[in-house]
Structure 1
Amino acid sequence: MAETERLWLVERTYDDKGLISLAYATTDGTLARRMERAPIAVERSGGVTAAVEAERDELTAVEDEDRRERYAHEATRMAERHDPDERV
């Protein structure tokens, strides 16, 4: 069984085609996972959760120090304020 990490929502953006780009990261900001979703897919799934579980091989290292610090701050804030399955 692969090792998993809990990731917290740290960024949500919308592109000019209407896709929703979500970034989830570990509370130390060192690992992240980005995903794009169509609005209808987000709606059908019940929305965006505060956290997700992901296998370590699906994650990428956050190389940029400023981004890593921002992700760590936001992931920690989300973990303190929300339950993992809470819709945000």
Structure 2
Amino acid sequence: MRDETDDGVRVWLVERTYSDDEQNLIILTYATPDGERYFRKERALTSFSDTRDTTAAVDADPENLGAVDDPDRREQYAAEARRMADVHAPDDVI
């Protein structure tokens, strides 16, 4: 399971939440397998026919990664990223 790819840093889907502040906004959080870095992607759903796929992993630009400072959250992200990597190919639709 490699973190670095030719296209950036591979991060795995660890959390999918709905924004409290805005309707129809989904927040996808991807993390590195060690749980130390994360990538957040916001997606506005414009209609029920909006069919953009969410994949198990994406390759993110290292400059767009944040640090996970909370040790409990880091452990949670690491466990979920490893689980996703163990059972899914990066381009699997989740």
CA apart distance, 1:35: 1.4
> Aligned pairs, how many?
85
- Give the equivalent residue in structure 2 for 1:26: 32
CA distance, structure 1, for counterparts of residue 92 and residue 32 of structure 2? 17
Query: Any stretches of 5+ residues in structure 2 without a counterpart?
Result: 1-5
Q: Mean alpha-carbon deviation: is it higher for 64-73 or for 11-20?
A: 11-20
Shift of 1:3: 7.0
Q: Which residue of 1 aligns with 2:3?
A: none
Q: Which amino acid aligns with 1:31?
A: R
Q: Secondary structure at the match of 1:78?
A: helix
2:14 aligned partner? 10
Aligned CA RMSD, in angstroms, stands at 1.8
* Secondary structure of residue in 1 paired with 2:93: coil
The runs of at least 4 aligned residues of structure 1 exceeding 4 Å deviation read none
Of 74, 77, 88 in structure 1, the residue corresponding to residue 83 of structure 2 is 77
Q: Deviation per CA, 1:20-54: give whole Å up to 9, x if none.
A: 0000000000000111101248x343x10000001
How many angstroms does 1:55 deviate by?
A: 1.2
Q: Secondary structure at the match of 2:77?
A: helix
1:15 Cα deviation from its structure 2 partner: 2.0
2:74: which partner in 1?
68
Alignment identity in percent? Answer: 52
- Structure with more of its chain in helix, by fraction: 1
